[in-house]
Amino acid sequence: MLALSALVLPDRDPPVAFIADVQQAEAAGLRTVWTYDHLTWPALRERPWYASVPLLAAAAVATSRVRLGTQVATPNFRHPVTFAKEIMTLDRISGGRLDIGVGAGSEGPDALVLGDPPRDRRERAERFAEWLRLLDQLLTQPVTTVRGERFSAVDAHQIPGCVQRPRVPLTVAAAGPRALRSAARFGQAWVTYGPYGGQVDPESWFRGIGDQSAALTRELEVAGRAATSVRRIVQLALDVRWPFESAARYADFLGRLSAMGFDEVSVHWPRADDGRGLPAGVLGPVLAAHGL
């Protein structure tokens, strides 16, 4: 049976409302609570928006079982040295319940906020590959010195290191070939939205996500890893509503994903104020479909 996780937006105001949502998700039996690691979100530019790391730290001390993570951290504004220190600290605070989602990042507000020049898709992919290599090294070694093209570390200490060994699990967001290659090399999990856009019909969505999963399997084979060595996660976009049209349709949705080798589905946690979450009234049937 596929695990169920949820993404809680970091815009809850006051921030204790975020903690309450995480606690509710834990009580419901969800595997992981993710939150977006952005500095702003275009759809909510004029609303409160809080930083993911302190929110996750607060959630860690307010919970005891549910796993916690970013979805996803990118090189757009995070340097591997400082981020690795924050990851290690969060893993310690949570008692080893941290999952870190990482990705190449889009050419959006987070990519421009530090005044960096625009980058095309290839440049972002190459930057991500270097960023991820250094992050992996920082999280697995007590002291790191690396001088790279874009990112460097000089006598960077990671003591006492992560609770989880050899490091915190990395969930790599990937759709294109370069990012899938990075997922196959460094990831303990892979996350995808599948084809973007709510106008994609269900059959096209399934074909697209199946093609992505098959491409990951090929990259894992090249990397010498088993197809089952990477946990496969679907993060449902806010505009993908058709799986929730009925209990039968959601059950079929889960069955088809399971047949393709997926392990987990992540939804946006329900919120009554603006509809940016799981549709009202379907949480109970969704929980039941996952055996919760």
Q: Check pLDDT > 70 for residue 85.
A: yes
pLDDT value of residue 87: 98
pLDDT digits (tens, 9 = 90+) for 5-35: 999 999 989 999 999 999 999 999 999 999 9
Of 194 and 68, the one with more pLDDT:
68
Separation between Cα atoms, residue 237 and residue 275, nearest integer Å: 13
User: What pLDDT is attached to residue 231?
Assistant: 98
pLDDT of residue 281: 87
The domain spans of the chain are 3-289
Sequence-ordered list of residues with C-beta below 8 angstroms from that of 100, at least 6 positions apart, any chain: 69, 70, 73, 87, 168, 169, 170, 171
Q: H or E element: which one contains 23? A: helix 16-28
User: How confident is residue 279, by pLDDT bands cut at 50, 70 and 90?
Assistant: confident
- pLDDT, mean of residues 86-106: 97
Q: How confident is the model at residue 165 (pLDDT cuts 50, 70, 90)?
A: very high
Whole-number average pLDDT of the chain: 94
- Going by pLDDT thresholds of 50, 70 and 90, the confidence category of residue 274 is confident
Is 34 strand, coil or helix? Answer: strand
Band (199; pLDDT cuts 50, 70, 90): low
**CA 13 vs CA 44, 270, 279: distances in Å:** 13, 15, 21
* Least trusted range by pLDDT, from 47-51, 127-131, 236-240: 236-240
**32-35 vs 3-7, strand pairing mode:** parallel
Place of tokens 């972002």: 124
pLDDT score for 19:
97
Between CA 228 and CA 263 the distance in angstroms is: 10
Quickly list DSSP for 49-103: ---HHHHHHHHHHH-SSSEEEEEEE-TTT--HHHHHHHHHHHHHHHTS-EEEEE-
* Beta strands 152-157 and 143-147, pairing class: antiparallel
pLDDT interval class at 272 (50, 70, 90): confident
Mean pLDDT, residues 203-215 = 95
Of the pLDDT bands very low, low, confident and very high (cuts 50, 70, 90), residue 159 is: very high
pLDDT mean over 133-153: 97
Token couple for 261 = 């080798």
pLDDT band at 197 (very low <50, low <70, confident <90, very high): low
pLDDT one-digit tens code per residue, 38-62:
999 888 888 999 999 999 999 999 9
State the Cα–Cα distance between residues 172 and 183, nearest whole angstrom: 5
Q: Is the pLDDT of residue 196 over 70?
A: no
- 79 or 118: which carries more pLDDT confidence? 79
Say if pTM beats, i.e. exceeds, 0.75.
Answer: yes
Q: Which of 108, 29, 107, 20 lies closest to 66, judged by CA?
A: 29
Class of domain 3-289: alpha beta
Per-residue pLDDT at 174: 94
